[in-house]
């Protein structure tokens, strides 16, 4: 393990991260073109860049594992051309990652995992006095949220509107969405997901024309405050390379939750 990483793999945090991510992906279940399976394996396929194709839980008995892997790959091959298989510390069997590596699927850290202590928040980034953040509370605001997110991610995200509008905006909602404005102009978006024993931030997006002005950091800081208000002492985020420095300025540090990613595509030979 890289010495600079905060090792959280032996704590209860990986399980909370796993449950939170499963709750996030499950919001898209049942939408056209989406396949979700959740028995002893949580498998999600959308065949879109976002939210993607992913396996987030594996709980298999040790007997017949090789046959189970063969059967799963055959099944996935009928659904999609590629998928990312995330193995968490509590997944079973314990040697599943080594078995996948033996099949030519090397394991990696699965991107930038960051963690922060919320008991002492850093100062919010400086932004114009007329910058303000509004929680999305109806379908019209959600349509605007999606439009700004699409401009930031440079991807078509209609599936996000379908999932989030269906989820709703009331007190029972565990996925909360926010838009940051300069005056009346929307400039950044973000999502807070409170599920699985933890709360995390997703979907932070700022269109290119508004980057470098602190807006992404400002909405992230506001959501960190909200997570602390909800009673959590810490939080985590799964970051892109581009956004990593923004989060680090807010107090996030590199962490290892013990998650390993194995990527599969149908053109590989085993």
Domains of the chain: which residue ranges?
A: 6-111+258-265, 117-256
Q: Does domain 6-111+258-265 have CATH number 3.40.630?
A: yes
- Give the pTM: 0.95
Flag whether pLDDT at 270 surpasses 80.
Answer: no
Strands, E, within 71-208: which ranges? Answer: 82-87, 107-108, 112-117, 131-135, 175-182, 185-195, 198-205
Flag whether pLDDT at 269 surpasses 80.
Answer: no
Region 217-234: mean pLDDT is 98
Pair of tokens at residue 156 = 């078509």
If you write DSSP's letter for every residue of 216-265 in order, what string do you get?
HHHHHHHHHHHHHHTT-SEEEEEE-TTTHHHHHHTT-EEEE-S-EEEEEE
CATH of domain 117-256: 3.40.630.30
For 16-74, how does the pLDDT look when each residue is reduced to its tens digit (9 = 90+)?
Answer: 999 999 999 999 999 999 999 999 999 999 999 999 999 999 999 989 999 999 999 99
H or E element: which one contains 171? none
Same fold, 6-111+258-265 and 117-256: yes
Nearest to 224 by CA among 207, 197, 244, 204: 204
CB 258 within 8 A of CB 236: no
Pair of tokens at residue 88 = 């968490």
């Amino acid at each position: 393990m890289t010495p600079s990483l905060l090792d959280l793999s032996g704590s209860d945090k990986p399980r909370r991260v796993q449950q939170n991510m499963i709750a996030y992906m499950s919001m898209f279940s049942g939408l056209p073109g989406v396949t979700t399976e959740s028995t002893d394996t949580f498998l999600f396929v959308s065949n879109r860049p976002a939210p993607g194709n992913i396996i987030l839980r594996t709980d298999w008995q040790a007997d017949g594992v090789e046959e189970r892997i063969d059967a799963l790959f055959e099944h996935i091959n009928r659904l999609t051309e590629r998928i990312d298989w995330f193995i968490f510390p509590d997944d079973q069997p314990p040697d599943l990652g080594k078995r996948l590596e033996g099949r030519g699927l090397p394991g990696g850290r699965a991107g930038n995992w960051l963690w922060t202590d919320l008991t002492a928040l850093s100062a919010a980034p400086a932004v114009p006095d007329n910058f303000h953040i509004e929680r999305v509370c109806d379908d019209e605001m959600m349509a605007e949220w999606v439009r700004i997110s699409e401009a930031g991610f440079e991807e078509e995200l209609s599936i996000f509107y379908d999932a989030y509008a269906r989820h709703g905006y009331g007190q029972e909602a565990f996925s909360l969405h926010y838009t940051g404005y300069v005056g009346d102009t929307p400039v950044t978006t973000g999502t807070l997901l409170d599920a699985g024993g933890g709360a995390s931030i997703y979907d932070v997006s700022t269109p290119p024309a508004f980057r470098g002005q602190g807006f992404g950091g400002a909405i992230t800081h506001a959501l960190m405050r909200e997570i602390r208000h909800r009673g959590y002492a810490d939080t985590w985020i799964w970051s892109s390379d581009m956004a990593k420095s923004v989060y680090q300025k807010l107090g996030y540090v590199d962490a290892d939750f013990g998650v390993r990613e194995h990527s599969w595509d149908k053109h590989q030979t085993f």
